[in-house]
Amino acid sequence: MDAVCVFVNYNGQWDGTSSSYVGGEMKGILVPENSTYVGLVELVRSVIGIRGPDKNIVMRYGVEPGLPLVRIQCDADVKFYIQLKKKDVHVLSKFPVTIDVLDESAAEAMPAEVGASNHIDVQRSRDGGQSDEAMQHVNDSNTIIPPPRQFPSPTVGLDLHNEDEIEKQYEVMHNDLCTAHDNCNAGKMHDADDSHRSNEKSIAASIGDQSIVNNTRYENDKVSSSDSLSDGVIVADYTPVTIRINCIFENKKLLQYHLHHDAMSKHYQFKVKRSNSTLLHVICIDNEGCQWQLRATRMRGSEMFVVKRFDDVHTCSIEIVQGHHRQAKSWMIGECVKAKYLDPTNTLYRPAEIMRDMQDEFGVSFNYLRAWRGKEAALNRLRGDDAESYKVLPAWAEMVMRKNPASDIQIETDSENCFKYFYMCLAASKHGWPYCRPVIVVDGSALKARFGRMLLAACGHDANGSIFPLAFGIVPSESNESWNWFFEKLRDSIGTRESLAIVADRHKGIEYAVNHVYPDAAFGICVQHLAANLKTRYKDFKGNLKTYFDGASRSYLLSEFHRHMESIRGLNPDMHRYLVEADPTKWSRAHFNGRRYAIMTTNIAESFNNVDRKARLMPVGFLVEWLRALLQRWPISNGM
C-alpha cells in the first residue's frame, strides 16, 4: 500500500508573539494514502507516545507564512492533506504537522489566533431542555461556505440607503466566497469544552469536531454502548457516527443523512414507513422477514430529533439489497463528494469519477444521471443556488464602489425587478486605458450556470503588448440590444479616442452597436473567424489557398493584396467572390480605415476568456467576485 512521508512536531511551545512553534521534537511517519481521521489519530498517538482517553490531540499544518494554520479534523481533511503532500513528493519537509495535546497547560501555551477554537457548548437534559448557560461563538474565518439559503426567485432588490441591509448582504456574500481549508463541512463549529470527559452523562453539541467521540474510541472506530454518544450527545455535523437509542440530531435532515450513510456503509437498505414534521419511522426494505427499524421523534420546542427506538439487527438476505442502492440518492451523493469541490473553480470532478469513488468507498452503484445530479447537489450545497447569488449583487456592487469609488458598476433589471444586465469597469482599467494602444477587442462567451447568459469582455493592449482587461458585462444573449448597452457603458467609462479601432468576430450585433455608439471608430473582424468560415464553406481551403488568404489579410501594400487575391481567383473564383462580399476594409490590413497595430484577431479577448472558463460554471455572484479578484491580481501576475 502506498504511503506518504510526513514529519510531525510535538512537545514544543507556541511563541505568542510570532505565532510559531518552537522547540520540541520531530519524527517522521508513513501515512497510508487511504488513511482516515481516526486512523491518523491512532498512528500519531502511538508514534509520539500519548496514552489514555484523557488526552486529545489537535493536528495542524501551515501552507504559507502569514496564512492561518489548517486544522486536520475529519476524513476529508486527511484526504486533502495527503493529496497536498503527493504534489510535493520531492520536498519531504514541506507541510509538517504540529501536534498539540489538549490539556490546560497546552491550551494556555497556544497563541490566541491558533489555540482558540471556535465552539458551541450547549448543556441539555434528556427531555430536550436547554440551559441558560448555552454559549455560541462562531468565527467566520473558519467557515468555507454557509448552509444554502432558500429563496423565491433570481430577483435583484436592495435598499441601498439602508446601511445595515447592505452590510448584512455583503457579509453573506463575503462568507460565501471565503475559503478556509481547515473546515470541510458547512458551518462547522468546534467543541472546546473538555468537561464531558469526567461526566459521561453530560450532553454537548460538537459541530465539526470528533473530539467527543474520539476521546473514548481512539483505539476503536466503533462506539460502544457505554459511550456518551448513546446517552444523548447532540449530533450536529456530518461526521459519521454510530446511531443508538437516545442519540439527538440537530434536525431531521441530519438524521436522514446519517441513516443513509449508515445504510450505504453497512450494505443494507430501508424504506420510510411514516414521515412528517414530528416523526421519522423507517423499516428494513424486507419488512416481512427482517425486524430492523428506527423511530425518531422531534423534541418539543426545537427542531432536534431524538432516537426513541432502534432495532439494529438485520435478518434479511443479502440478495434483497442487490442492485441500485435506495439510499444513494442525489442529495446524499452530493453530501459525500462535496469536499471535492471546496475550491470554487474546481468542477473537473466528473460524474463518472463520482460513480467510481462511490463504488470503491461504499460498494454502491447508480447511473450517470444520478451522479450528475449528485454533483449539482454538492455544488449547490457549497455555493448556494444560482438564483440567490443574483440577490446579493447590489450589496456586492455597493461595497466595491465604497472601497474603489472611481469604478463603474451597473446593474439593470426588467419590469419585474429580475436581473437583466451587469457591467463592471474598475478604476485601474479606466486610468490605464489612455496609455494603451487605441484598439479595443471584444468577445462573448457562454456562462454554464443554471440561468445561462453571456459574459462579454473588452480588452486592450498596453505599450508592452500585454493583455489589458477593460470591462466585463453579463447579458441575456448576444443581441443587438445587449451589445449596444455594453458599448454605451464602455463609452461612459473610458470615453473615445482618436483613431480608435474595434476588433471583434463577425457577430452582427457587435457591428450594429459599434456603428451606433462609436460611429467614428474603425471596425475590423477577426481573420481567424473568417478563416474558420472559409474552411467550413470550402473543402479545398488549405495549402496554397490558405497561404494566399493569409497574405491578402496581412499585407500592408495594396499591390500585394491584389496579387494574393488574383491567385485566389485563379484557384477558387467562388471564394474570391465571397471575400470581396465580406468587405476587405474589415479584414484586410491594406484596406483597413484605421490602424490595427498588428491586432488581426480577437485572441487577446479569447485568451482572457480562456482564463475564466472554470469560473463561468459558477453562480453569477461568485463569477463577478472572481473577476474582480482576477483584475486585482492581473498586473502583478503578468509583470505589468
pLDDT digits 0-9 by tens, 55-70: 788 888 888 776 778 8
**In terms of DSSP H, where are the helices of 20-157?**
37-48, 75-87, 104-109, 112-115
pLDDT score recorded for residue 228: 37
Q: What is the mean pLDDT of residues 138-160?
A: 38
- Report if residue 189 sits inside a domain: no
Mind listing the pLDDT tens digit for each residue in 432-452?
999 999 999 999 888 877 777
The total number of structural domains in the chain stands at 2
pLDDT score recorded for residue 278: 92
- Report if residue 607 sits inside a domain: yes
**Mean pLDDT in the chain?**
76
Q: Say yes or no to pLDDT of 182 above 80.
A: no
Pick the residue with more confidence: 143 or 264?
264
- Considering 77, 93, 116, which residue would you say is the last residue of a domain? 116
- Report if residue 474 sits inside a domain: yes
Instruction: Give the integer Cα–Cα distance in Å for 346 and 367.
Output: 23
Instruction: Give the integer Cα–Cα distance in Å for 148 and 346.
Output: 19
* Phi (first) and psi of residue 375, to 5 degrees: -65, -45
- Report if residue 482 sits inside a domain: yes
Mind listing the pLDDT tens digit for each residue in 501-521?
999 988 889 999 999 999 999
- Report if residue 316 sits inside a domain: no
Residues of the chain with pLDDT > 90: what percent?
25
Q: What is the mean pLDDT of residues 618-637?
A: 81
Instruction: Give the residue numbers spanning the domain of 432.
Output: 391-637
Binned at pLDDT 50, 70 and 90, residue 187 comes out as very low
Mind listing the pLDDT tens digit for each residue in 355-403?
998 888 888 888 899 898 888 888 777 777 777 888 889 999 999 999 9
Report the run of H or E that residue 440 belongs to, with start and end. Answer: strand 439-446
- Report if residue 521 sits inside a domain: yes
Q: What is the mean pLDDT of residues 141-146?
A: 33
Q: What is the mean pLDDT of residues 12-22?
A: 68
Pick the residue with more confidence: 308 or 112?
308
Q: Say yes or no to pLDDT of 348 above 90.
A: no
Mention every residue, 6+ apart, whose C-beta is less than 8 A from residue 519.
Answer: none
Instruction: Give the integer Cα–Cα distance in Å for 516 and 629.
Output: 32
- Report if residue 194 sits inside a domain: no
- Considering 116, 146, 175, which residue would you say is the last residue of a domain? 116
Pick the residue with more confidence: 94 or 585?
585
What's 103's domain CATH number? Answer: 3.10.20.90
**Nearest to residue 208, comparing CAs of 243, 240, 163?**
240
Alpha-carbon Rg for the chain, nearest whole angstrom, is: 31
Q: What is the mean pLDDT of residues 231-258?
A: 83
- Report if residue 616 sits inside a domain: yes
Report the run of H or E that residue 432 belongs to, with start and end. Answer: helix 427-432
- Considering 116, 144, 170, which residue would you say is the last residue of a domain? 116
